Structure 1
Amino acid sequence: MRVDGREITVAGSLLQPLIRRTSDIVRVALSGLFLVTVVAGSLITRNQWDALETSVSNIVGVLTPDQSNLVYICYGIAILALPFAILIGLIASRQWKLLAGYATAAIVAGLALSITDSGLSLPDVHLGVPERLDTFLGQFLDDSRWIGMLAAVLTVSSPWLPARWRRWWWVLLFAFVPIHLVVSTVVPARSMLGLSVGWFVGAMIVLVVGTPALEVPLAQAVRLLAQRGYVVTGFTVLRPAGPGPLVLSAAREVPHDNLIVDLYGQNQRSGGALRQFWRWLTFRKSESAPIHTSLHRAVEHRALMGIAIGDLGLASSKPVAIATLGRGWELYAQSPLQGRAITADSDDELSDNIWRSLAVLHANQIAHGDLQLSNLRIEDDTVLFGGFEVSELGASQAQLQSDIAQLLLSTSALCGAERAVRTAIDIFGSKAVLTASRRLTKAAMPSRIRNSVQEAGAALTALRDEVVVQTGTDEIKTEQVTRFSRNQIIQLVLLIGLVYVAYPFISSVPTFFSQLKTANWLWALLGLGVSAMTYLGAAAALWACASGLVKYRNLVIMQVANTFAATTTPAGVGGLALSVRFLQKGGLGTVRATAAVALQQSVQVITHVGLLIFFSIAAGTSADLGHFVPDPTVIFLICGAALGVVGTFMFVPKLRRWLRYSVRPQVKEVFGELVELVRDPKRFAVIFLGCGAKTLGAALVLWASIEAFGGGTTFVTVTVVTMIGGTLASAAPTPGGVGAVEAALIGGLAAFGLPATIAVPSVLLYRVLTCWLPVFCGWPTMRWLTKKDMI
């Protein structure tokens, strides 16, 4: 490379990667919104738009026909020359990949605007049509397909075009609308559709293909450094551009030490804007640094932090130049790095020096924010810092605590968890380390720090355990760094699910309340009491499955919250997860808690099937179970789907390994528990009676609800309906089986001859007693358990 008569050598590849810029993503979103707006406006207010266009055209259309033709011919020549100028430029520069995207954008936009109800329509050009300008050029340009193709190719070509050309050509294209109005050719609505489709197609192609960073302005960098007194003779690429900057080593004649030059292109750092915005949106205000309004401000902030830390004698380099170059590039030049690098195999005695240097930063209220070992260097007995992109002057307590947590993780890779925690306590004190250790989690630890340490998850766990041992605390409570905790998000999802499942019931509330006037309230109160007793049975069964290691009273309270979690999630998975979590908080290990819940469910299924067979036989011929047998086609479909699932698990290696190493041990433990249960009659009786009470209690509540509205069937029949109907409805995808349970129970009672005037209100009352009342009690109960740290 030759700059101002001097030959500048460049070693290494300057080829820039294909990446998706923030502007590419925003362009797709804006173009999609524009397209939806144009289409919706055309469909909803088409007549009003036509009238408005005609009115505006009559006002501004003051040119004579000859003048209009002259204006239109000049504009038409310019707009026709535009795509061909771009095409010739691409061919001359041999940018074949861009040429392919250019052609694809034009073809897709043209085809998209040619689709009609009868298929693809070709351009329909007629000469001598009095309503339009009597020129072939005018009729051709009036076609929205041409406008769409122009907008698409301009969008694809824009990242490669000089800024001045890009702006003028877009202005020329958008001038299509006012020029049409001036020459009294009313087609702006059609042209707006073409513009929106072309822009969206071009934006999608740019997003899919990616935008390469354009030519690196090294010549400008050489001239700028020369103005600062640094005459550069050559560049060596130290790190290619990517998510971060292009890092170069700039050689000089005198003195012979090299500068480190970081070149930030818009394609290298614009993605950080979205990450910063997402972090600001999801993390608490004290956890995220202020968002930089521009790339230049971000580079300037790095330089100012380098100066501030350099004044303390703790910076591994000092900034020598920052500047804005062409095409949005930013230059950050710094002096050569001092000292030697610190790596994972360095002497673990360095740990003390690292913590002392961090203490000096914190004493001056400076947070580094990126304390990975690659940003640390050692000179004599002093540890120096580098990389100040996320450093903060006047840092908050949260940022200072985050520094301590980051350095705990980084130094644990250097000298082990025990030495790292002990040194941190010696320098900062046990209280500060204990507070900072609440951030030793995946959410609070930045990904760049976790990625710099091997097996970061295990290291974080070891550090938390070591802090517990050395500080003598019982437990480290996790710091909430996000605006919403995981429990809050889960509760919000459950609440939304509750609204969803309750909506169909709300619409039938007026009719149901009018029917309640005729109900016998003594039977309804009996049903409510029996419904409450089922929670005692379920709690007893789970207590016995957990070998009595959890308090029975707490299990009864948990069953109420369990109703809310099970009702608001499909197939009751929320209730199972809540039970496992409760047992874990009660002192059981994860595997033991899962096995206890699985054991309860297994016994529940066995009890349910056994009672179903018994009561079906007891019902005799009066129980026509043929009403509950699905259609043979449905049975075949279910069997086929089941075989497909089995085949998928057998032929996919990952699923096979999951079955072997995750599911099989738990199933084996459940069968082992069942064998142990047979050998312990007392425990078996408690579990069996608890599960039986839950099943028979539900049937008794439905029978009491039917009696409340006049009765008309036996308890045996109701039990069969409850168990069969509940089993069929459990396969429904709706949370809590809402809709499916009601339909199955009403249909089952009708099959046994119960009139709809009794069956419908009885089932609704049954659902109120067993589902909706417990659900509304379960929400505050679940919040109480969360507050008490029991789930």
Structure 2
Amino acid sequence: MSLHPGESGAAAPAPVPVEEVPPQREVLLVDAPETRVRRPSDLLALLACLLGIGFVLTLAVYANATTQGVTQDVQSVVADVLRQVLLIPVTVLEGLVSFIVPLVVLVERVVRRSWRSAAEALATMVVAVVLAAGALWLLDHIAPREISRGLTITSEGEVVIALNVYIAGLAGVLTAVGDRSHNRMLGWSWNLLWVVLGLSVVQGDQTLPGAIVAVLLGRAAGLGMRYASGVLHERATGPHLVRGLRRAGLDPVSVVRMDPLLSGTHAQAWRVTSYSPIGYTERLREPSQSTNNGQQENVAPATPPDRTDTIVPDPTTDPSQVLQEVSSSATKTLDVESAHRLYAIWDVEGRRHDVTVLDGDRHVVGMLASLWDSIRLRGLDRRPATNLREAANRAALMALATKDAGVRTPELVGITESRDSVLIVTEHVPRAKRLSELPPAELDDDLLDEIWSQLQAAHAKGLAHHEVSAESILVDDEHHVWIVDWENGEIISSELSRRMDLAQLLAMLAVLAGTERALASAARTLTRDQLASIAPLLQPVAMPSATRAAAKRETLASLRGSLVSLIPTADVAPIPLARFAPRTVITLTLAVVAVWALLSWMNFEEVADAVTSANPVWIVVAFALGLLTYVGSAMGLEAFSPEKLGVWRTILVQVAASVVALVAPAGIGPAALNLRFLNKRRVSTPLAVATVGLVQLSQLITTVLLLVAVALVTGSAGTLSAPEGSVITAVGLVLLAVAVVLLVPRLRTWVWQRAAPTLRQVWPRVVWVVSNPGRLLMGIAGNLIMTAGYVAAFGACLAAFGHSLPVTNLAITYLAANSIGAAVPSPGGIGPVEAALTTGLTLAGIPAGTAVSVAILFRVLTFWGRVPLGWAALRYLQRRESL
């Protein structure tokens, strides 16, 4: 059987005369077999339930008085006497709901022969009960009492947690069976459940938070089961699909699914016999109707009572052969918001049309994508369609507006709704190819100019496309340009939207035809002002995903540079389209983690006691001495860098490192920030890594030399006690391991292979620094200033509490304790550094209580207290594109 006996153009179908009896039609349908689907909306609802549980438990902790007050207010609505009167009927109602509701639901599933659904409902009930029982055990044995306090009631003189596991199981059953909007019995069951819960709260058998948590746990179990197992969808398939096409005004004989989600191995062929009316018709279903004069007037029913639409498999048709036959001319002309079903249909006169089917269970994906774009981009009207009808209406309105503007785009033939789907029928563009499918030889100048002209025609009527890419432009067999996929556009567009269309088209043509030809075609079509307005929008965030994947940053930068050459007055500074960049998200994440670490570790009472009992003069001195470390660190980086960095900006980078140090192990965060700073200053990554490594190595060597010099000058090696035998043993074992590595050839080779690249990078930098005495002295001076600043600040904190140590002891105590604490891989050394400083001071003879206060004060002044400065410096450097 031929699928398209006389395929001609894509003219609109002729009006079908309304007949008293709809014509019978046998339709060939090639489609995927009906399967269960995983609805994204179920997953989102599951996440919402989990968030709801967290929110209720948070209220139980931080608004315990409020939740208890609400529960008491609910209970006070019914007086004690009235509660006693309602005791018996309420008890009976609870029993009926607890027993009858799940029984009726399961029996209804069995009667419908939905054995799988009944089994899933029972399994969900078990899972929900287990979840609720586990939550009850956690709240009773592990969770803090602050969480369970808002869920407790007094029963028979004992305080118990009011979390009804059976209510959770019942909510799980009702959720797993389906949506209440599609089943009236489920709606009544949910209403009865809420009534029983409300009465339980009134009687004092439940708390309001406990009842909500139980239902949310059951809902989470049911939604998880639905998403894991899938549900029977409500999409328009089979006879419903054919019936919807006939309602749209078509009389199809062949319907073939064409979207990429369908492959020939999964397709099946059916024969659908339909008696549905063609077009939107309103007919009475009664066989007869009385007129005013008493006579009977026969009115034909929409479908004869003895004839219903049927579908049977077609074993004589090979689906693979059908798909192969029509694939050469199959063109997708409408793709609304996400991956929707696409069909090619042929009517009784042999005309071909394209159909896009929007399914309600998939609409949430497109809505979330549009919502993300509206949040991510500024200056654009990207309001997402909240429901399926709104998305279809928007697509139809854009199709009519673009056609009226004179843009060559497929004409809207019909649109209708069937079950939980919307069918959009458009004319077919015969033998058309997408622009990305054309060979380079066919991309001549006339074609490029026509693309610009078509887009300009839309802009002249105030329309904007928003997604101009090689996938949204078709070229027919007569080499004419068609622009499709207008459904996400604007009818009343802003200037920014139209400028973005031009920028997207220029970038796309630069990828396909080259920068020079793309700019030449734009110059032939656009005005000087329009060309100048494109440059600021040539940035990745403004490009569709397909263009962004194909065009590199260098391509966009080359286009901006070429536009400046053509128009010297063009403003090439990018317009900030993104509301937030990835680095902003990272920075905010760092701040949140830092604040969380601060709140979880610090004992604010101890900090307050330490600060208030210390001498305020020495506190100011310690803070000022700590700031000198920024100068020393900046001097070291400036000295060893191959490029001139600028002392002031380098100092700000070291200040900004105070924020990064909060969430990275000691030394790693500042080193990473210095590496990024060097990269921004056009220092290659290998050279930047070598420079940062040399800075850290010089700091270590300077610290050791400083300790030796202090010991020699003071004539003392300090008064700290000698290392214990365990320490000497550990040092001996380390030396033994080094000797083994050096003696065993394989180990020596393995170590060298991993250390050699770093040494090869650092060694030339060492030679370069040694050959520049000025830089070497500057680096050593910077390291001395940094180390001396920390030691002096540590001594000032000690003096704030009326104690002092010899310089050597002070230096050894600080440097040893800080090194030991920093060796523990914790963010910013939080915890280990404070403990090591306290231990070092105690070993040096400082009382334990004072040692704790000194350690806390020192860390507040040189670590936590500098975070606001680091945050301000980081934001300043980011705005100046220095980081």
Q: TM-score range by the shorter chain?
A: 0.7 to 0.9
179-188 vs 716-725, greater mean Cα deviation: 179-188
Do 2:248 and 2:416's aligned partners in 1 also have CA atoms closer than 8 Å? Answer: no
Q: CA deviation at 1:25?
A: 1.5
Q: CA deviation at 1:612?
A: 5.2
Written as runs of structure 1 = structure 2, the 5 A alignment for 1:70-149 is: 80-91=103-114, 96=116, 98=117, 101-112=120-131, 148-149=168-169
Asked whether 1:384 is paired with 2:482, we answer: yes
CA distance in 1, matches of 2:563, 2:482: 28
Written as runs of structure 1 = structure 2, the 5 A alignment for 1:316-335 is: 316-326=409-419, 328-335=420-427
- Rate the CA distance shift 1:175–1:194 in 2: closer, same or farther, 3 A: same
Instruction: Give the partner amino acid of 1:481.
Output: L
Aligned equivalent of 2:365: 271
CA distance in 2, matches of 1:759, 1:291: 60
Aligned equivalent of 2:192: 175
Asked whether 1:208 is paired with 2:228, we answer: yes
Among 505, 521, 530, the alignment partner of 1:423 is 521
Q: CA deviation at 1:615?
A: 6.1
- Rate the CA distance shift 1:366–1:64 in 2: closer, same or farther, 3 A: closer
Q: CA deviation at 1:282?
A: 3.6
Written as runs of structure 1 = structure 2, the 5 A alignment for 1:606-645 is: 606-609=701-704, 611=706, 619-620=716-717, 622-624=719-721, 626=723
CA distance in 1, matches of 2:731, 2:383: 59
Q: CA deviation at 1:298?
A: 0.7
Q: CA deviation at 1:780?
A: 3.7
* Secondary structure of the structure 1 residue equivalent to 2:542: coil
Aligned equivalent of 1:728: 820
Aligned equivalent of 1:230: 250
* Secondary structure of the structure 2 residue equivalent to 1:236: strand
Asked whether 1:540 is paired with 2:635, we answer: yes
Aligned equivalent of 1:361: 458
* Secondary structure of the structure 2 residue equivalent to 1:395: coil
Instruction: Give the partner amino acid of 1:244.
Output: A
Aligned equivalent of 1:253: 348
CA distance in 1, matches of 2:756, 2:492: 55
Among 462, 470, 492, the alignment partner of 1:394 is 492
Aligned equivalent of 1:644: none
Instruction: Give the partner amino acid of 1:544.
Output: A
Deviation string, structure 1 residues 456-498 (Cα, Å, up to 9, x no partner): 4x3x432322321442479954443232344544554455466
CA RMSD of aligned residues (A): 4.7
Deviation string, structure 1 residues 661-713 (Cα, Å, up to 9, x no partner): xx986664234323444455543343233223322332233335545655542
Asked whether 1:556 is paired with 2:648, we answer: no
Asked whether 1:198 is paired with 2:218, we answer: yes
Aligned equivalent of 1:696: 788
CA distance in 2, matches of 1:448, 1:288: 21
Instruction: Give the partner amino acid of 1:84.
Output: V
Among 258, 278, 287, the alignment partner of 2:380 is 287
Aligned equivalent of 2:281: none
* Secondary structure of the structure 2 residue equivalent to 1:367: coil
Aligned equivalent of 2:505: 407
Aligned equivalent of 1:155: 175
Among 423, 447, 450, the alignment partner of 2:545 is 447
Asked whether 1:239 is paired with 2:336, we answer: no
TM-score, length of structure 1 as denominator length: 0.78
Instruction: Give the partner amino acid of 2:814.
Output: T
299-308 vs 608-617, greater mean Cα deviation: 608-617
Q: CA deviation at 1:725?
A: 1.3
Do 2:97 and 2:193's aligned partners in 1 also have CA atoms closer than 8 Å? Answer: no
Asked whether 1:785 is paired with 2:877, we answer: yes
- Rate the CA distance shift 1:63–1:594 in 2: closer, same or farther, 3 A: closer
CA distance in 2, matches of 1:629, 1:704: 33
Q: CA deviation at 1:717?
A: 1.0
- Rate the CA distance shift 1:405–1:180 in 2: closer, same or farther, 3 A: closer
CA distance in 2, matches of 1:511, 1:628: 38
Asked whether 1:11 is paired with 2:30, we answer: yes
- Rate the CA distance shift 1:179–1:22 in 2: closer, same or farther, 3 A: closer
Do 1:145 and 1:194's aligned partners in 2 also have CA atoms closer than 8 Å? Answer: yes
| Aligned residue pair count | 725
- Rate the CA distance shift 1:197–1:369 in 2: closer, same or farther, 3 A: same
* Secondary structure of the structure 1 residue equivalent to 2:254: strand
* Secondary structure of the structure 1 residue equivalent to 2:500: helix
391-400 vs 301-310, greater mean Cα deviation: 391-400
CA distance in 1, matches of 2:359, 2:571: 46
Instruction: Give the partner amino acid of 1:22.
Output: S
Among 470, 474, 482, the alignment partner of 2:578 is 482
CA distance in 2, matches of 1:183, 1:779: 52
CA distance in 2, matches of 1:359, 1:249: 30
- Rate the CA distance shift 1:402–1:145 in 2: closer, same or farther, 3 A: same
Instruction: Give the partner amino acid of 1:483.
Output: R
CA distance in 1, matches of 2:544, 2:611: 56
Q: CA deviation at 1:376?
A: 1.1
CA distance in 1, matches of 2:454, 2:421: 34
Instruction: Give the partner amino acid of 1:393.
Output: I
Q: CA deviation at 1:415?
A: 0.9
Deviation string, structure 1 residues 701-744 (Cα, Å, up to 9, x no partner): 33355456555421111111121111122245665435543432
- Rate the CA distance shift 1:557–1:386 in 2: closer, same or farther, 3 A: closer
The structure in which a higher percent of residues are helix is 1
* Secondary structure of the structure 1 residue equivalent to 2:256: strand
CA distance in 1, matches of 2:671, 2:643: 19
CA distance in 2, matches of 1:494, 1:181: 44
Asked whether 1:310 is paired with 2:408, we answer: no
CA distance in 1, matches of 2:430, 2:450: 16
Aligned equivalent of 2:471: 374
Do 1:60 and 1:182's aligned partners in 2 also have CA atoms closer than 8 Å? Answer: no
Unaligned runs of 5+ in 1: 119-142, 641-649, 651-655
Percent identity of equivalent pairs? 22
410-419 vs 187-196, greater mean Cα deviation: 187-196
CA distance in 1, matches of 2:470, 2:827: 49
Written as runs of structure 1 = structure 2, the 5 A alignment for 1:494-509 is: 495-496=591-592, 499=595, 504=602, 507-508=605-606
Among 680, 692, 696, the alignment partner of 1:601 is 696
412-421 vs 730-739, greater mean Cα deviation: 730-739
- Rate the CA distance shift 1:632–1:220 in 2: closer, same or farther, 3 A: farther
Aligned equivalent of 1:219: 239
Do 1:23 and 1:270's aligned partners in 2 also have CA atoms closer than 8 Å? Answer: no
CA distance in 2, matches of 1:720, 1:169: 75
Instruction: Give the partner amino acid of 1:687.
Output: G
CA distance in 2, matches of 1:518, 1:414: 69
CA distance in 1, matches of 2:725, 2:385: 65
Written as runs of structure 1 = structure 2, the 5 A alignment for 1:18-97 is: 18-30=37-49, 33=52, 37=56, 57-60=83-86, 80-91=103-114, 96=116
Unaligned runs of 5+ in 2: 1-21, 139-162, 263-337, 738-746
CA distance in 1, matches of 2:534, 2:630: 42
Do 2:611 and 2:857's aligned partners in 1 also have CA atoms closer than 8 Å? Answer: no
CA distance in 1, matches of 2:386, 2:725: 66
CA distance in 1, matches of 2:596, 2:683: 34
* Secondary structure of the structure 1 residue equivalent to 2:482: strand
Instruction: Give the partner amino acid of 1:428.
Output: L
Instruction: Give the partner amino acid of 1:155.
Output: T
Deviation string, structure 1 residues 609-660 (Cα, Å, up to 9, x no partner): 5545776897537222648988999999xx99xxxxxxxxx9xxxxx9xx99
* Secondary structure of the structure 1 residue equivalent to 2:413: strand
CA distance in 2, matches of 1:185, 1:708: 61
CA distance in 1, matches of 2:606, 2:166: 56
Instruction: Give the partner amino acid of 2:24.
Output: G
TM-score, length of structure 2 as denominator length: 0.70
Do 2:472 and 2:485's aligned partners in 1 also have CA atoms closer than 8 Å? Answer: yes
